Amino acid sequence: MIKKIFFILLLIFSFFVSILFGETYIPPNVLINPTGVYLIILENIRLPTVIATAMIGSSLAICGAIMQMLLRNPLMDPYISGTASGGAFGAVLSYFLLVFNLPFAFLIYVSPLIAFVFALLSTLLTLSIGRKTGVYGLVIGGVVVSFIFSAFITIIVTLVSIKFPFIPSINFWLQGQIVIVNWYYDIVLLFLTIMLIIVGMKQARKIDLVAISDEMAFARGINPNRYRIFWVIIVSVISAYIVSIVGIIGFIGIIVPHIVRRMIGGSTTMLVPYSALLGSPILMLANILSSGLLGTVIPVTSITSLIASPIIVYIMVRGIAYKGS
């Protein structure tokens, strides 16, 4: 009970702090009765961005937890499916067309959509590679697809850098940055997050069953490989959408489920709601650091990487990754 209250208090605290400390500080007394420019910032920028951060944190944490259960590997992350690289490639590609005045340069205006399409494409590519090779083939397929799209991104980034040598704007897609998210994106995110939580909770027992063994899943009438593919598609759709609006945000899917497992428990019925509850504050706090830690905006993945690396090392040293979760 105390842990549950702690999680809820942490969520409230991080939400409040995120409202105050973004790239621009909003004094608490202004927050009580916001007027003028602060009201505009709150309404148009800060509030939708903080809400989006909370939902992105929840979604990524749940996605990570479910993938880890289904693939029996606590180091799995939604991005292993190659989704992130595909999404980043889509965004960078639309920039490339614009920079070099190539046909279809108008795609820059629907850049998030292009990112989304390529993220989905990369996931389907991963699935087709892993279809006949099972769980581990899927993982290897994800890595290969990531390499392919990363290679394309490198080529495009190099060419763009030559045309505009001083412009590092593409970093935004590659390292993740939650600075401004519009209300429109919030509505879609809200729908996806609620859907993920509901489906995750309803399917928790099935996920647990597949996590225990394929034989038991078959005995209960579940085809484990098909079931995994079903979830990989859901996770990819959500990850792709997130990548398309804020770039690649890594490791939340590893950090949060690990903490939940240590503090609450390892079953899916616990992992899904508590990952949702803890994912939000972790990403909100990481985003505060990324928004103003060094006096400028730095990519949020660089912060989450620093938090995740000791956890990953711990999991590897303890051999948890080989024993299954």
Partner 1 sequence: MKKTIAIAIAIVIIAVIIGATIGLYYYYYKPSSSVSSQVSYYPITVKDASGKNITIYSQPTRIISLAPSDTQDLIALGLGKYIVAVDYYSYLLLQMLNATNLLPKNVTVFSPSLNLNITGIVALKPDIVVDEIGLIGSQASLLSQAGITTVYTNADFASNYTEIENWILLLGKVFNRNQQAQQLVNWINEKIKAFEAKGNSTVGYLLWINPDYTFYTAGSGTFIDAIINLAGGINVFHNSKGYPVLTPSNLLLSNPQIIIAQELTNLTYTYYMIRNMPGIANVSAYQLNRIYVMSENLPTFLLNEPGPLSVYAIEMVKLIILNQAPSYISTQWVKNTLNVTLPVFE
Nearer to partner 1, 295 or 319 (CB): 295
Question: Which parts of the chain fold into alpha helices (H)?
Answer: 2-20, 28-32, 36-41, 47-71, 83-99, 111-130, 134-163, 171-175, 183-202, 204-212, 214-219, 224-246, 252-263, 268-292, 300-317, 320-323
User: Considering the complex, what minimum distance in angstroms separates the CB of residue 192 from partner 1?
Assistant: 19
217 in Cβ contact with 224 (< 8 Å):
yes
User: Considering the complex, what minimum distance in angstroms separates the CB of residue 25 from partner 1?
Assistant: 10
Nearer to partner 1, 99 or 124 (CB): 99
Which structure tokens are listed for 235? 């996770």
User: Considering the complex, what minimum distance in angstroms separates the CB of residue 148 from partner 1?
Assistant: 22
**Residue 107 vs residues 91, 94, 97, 269, 307: alpha-carbon distances, Å:** 9, 6, 8, 42, 36
What gap in Å lies between CA 185 and CA 282, rounded to an integer? Answer: 20
User: Considering the complex, what minimum distance in angstroms separates the CB of residue 224 from partner 1?
Assistant: 39
User: Considering the complex, what minimum distance in angstroms separates the CB of residue 58 from partner 1?
Assistant: 21
Burial class of residue 258 (count of CB atoms within 10 Å of its CB; 0-12, 13-18, 19+): buried
Nearest to 231 by CA among 81, 24, 110, 107: 81
Number of other CB atoms surrounding residue 53 within 10 Å: 30
Angle between helices 111-130 and 83-99 (to 10 degrees): 140
- Give contact residues for partner 1 (rule: CB under 8 A): 22-24, 37, 40-41, 44-46, 91, 95, 98-99, 101, 105, 108-109, 111, 158, 161-167, 169, 172-173, 177, 179-180, 182, 246-247, 295-297
Nearest to 18 by CA among 300, 306, 310, 302: 300
Q: Is 21 helix (H, G, I), strand (E, B) or coil?
A: strand
User: Considering the complex, what minimum distance in angstroms separates the CB of residue 278 from partner 1?
Assistant: 26
Nearer to partner 1, 42 or 201 (CB): 42
Which structure tokens are listed for 115? 């990112």
Nearer to partner 1, 95 or 274 (CB): 95
What gap in Å lies between CA 4 and CA 203, rounded to an integer? Answer: 22
User: Considering the complex, what minimum distance in angstroms separates the CB of residue 33 from partner 1?
Assistant: 18
The b-or-e profile of 236-250 (16+ CB within 10 A means b, else e) is: bbbbbbbbbbbbbbb
Which structure tokens are listed for 73? 């590997």
Nearer to partner 1, 128 or 154 (CB): 154
User: Considering the complex, what minimum distance in angstroms separates the CB of residue 245 from partner 1?
Assistant: 8
Nearer to partner 1, 133 or 182 (CB): 182
User: Considering the complex, what minimum distance in angstroms separates the CB of residue 136 from partner 1?
Assistant: 36
